[in-house]
Amino acid sequence: MILLLLAAAAAAWWMWGRGLTRNQLVAAGSAVAGAFLLLKGAWQVGLPMFLPGIWMLVQGQTQRPDPAGRMDKDEARRVLGVGPDASPEEIQAAHRRLVARVHPDQGGSAELASRVNAARDILLAELPRR
């Protein structure tokens, strides 16, 4: 039974869980283990595992950060340091310059790199509409 539960958890992670954070994986594991114990009749142990696990999963889904940070065009221009009349080449050059500095492999952070990427995407998506 335990092996079957572990196989089901591994299959679920493979199909849906690769985008989850470590905290969400721990919460899911706690909820599954708690549900298993509740089904076996050990409610004194299963309930304190199941309820917080479900609560943490729900909180993790509702508080997932938006990678673009709901950035508008003006903020995207400020992030990349380009003017309102920037060409696609200028936007790409500014993006390359900034990503080289804020990339996680260069000592930056993933949040900063995703913010720079989002700024580039917003400004490039705006160009054909002009």
The one-letter amino acid code at 114 reads S
Q: Give the CA angle between residues 28, 47, 23 to the nearest 5°.
A: 25
In a domain, 67, yes or no: no
CATH number of the domain enclosing 105 = 1.10.287.110
Whether the Cβ atoms of residue 22 and residue 58 lie closer than 8 Å to each other: no
pLDDT tens-digit map of 73-102: 888 999 999 999 899 999 999 999 999 988
Give the confidence band of 68 by pLDDT, cuts at 50, 70, 90.
very low
Q: What distances in angstroms separate CA 73 from CA 81, 82, 91, 92, 118, one per listed residue?
A: 12, 11, 12, 15, 10
- The number of distinct structural domains making up the chain is 2
- Looking at the fold, whether 34 and 84 belong to one and the same domain comes out as no
Domain extent, residue 124, equals: 73-129
* pLDDT for res 20: 63
Q: What is the pLDDT of residues 21-36, one digit of tens each?
A: 667 777 777 787 888 8
What pLDDT is stored for residue 52 in this prediction? Answer: 81
For the entire predicted model, the pTM comes to 0.47
Q: Domain check: are 28 and 50 in the same one? A: yes
